[in-house]
Amino acid sequence: MSEFITIARVGDVAEGCGETFRIGDRTVALFLVDGKYYALDDRCPHMGASLGVGNVLDGHVRCDRHLWTFRLADGACPDVPDLKAETFKVRVVGEEVQVRVGKEER
């Protein structure tokens, strides 16, 4: 099973915004909305633009390249059901924001 990795500290991401962080060879977009953290693969599944720099509104992030939106909770694209951004589990331990990147073992 993949492990949680600390990528940020509480306060590193402003409310209603996203930031990007490197975890090994991956880039993760971390968002803070209504006091809850969400993590998505930073690459837009449409054309690869950074989601971490996109606008956040109503629980979605809008890619700034082609304006496609993705739900922060599950990565789904409301306009294109077959298109989905990969999501990652997030937890807060003390002041550390941790993300689990990788496949679950069954």
Residues 89 and 10: their CA atoms lie apart, in Å, by 16
Q: From the centroid of its chain, how far is CA 53?
A: 11
Given pLDDT bands bounded at 50, 70 and 90, which one contains residue 1? very low
Q: pLDDT value at position 54?
A: 93
Residues contacting 94, CB < 8 A, separation 6+? none
**For domain 4-100, which CATH number applies: 3.40.50.261, 2.30.40.10, 2.40.10.10, 2.102.10.10?**
2.102.10.10
Are 11 and 97 spatial neighbours (Cβ–Cβ below 8 Å)?
no
Name the pTM for this structure: 0.91
pLDDT tens string 52-90: 999 999 999 999 888 899 999 999 999 998 999 999 999
Average pLDDT rounded to a whole number, residues 14-23? 95
Task: Provide the token pair at 69.
Answer: 């939106």
Q: How many helices (H) and strands (E) does the chain have?
A: 0, 9
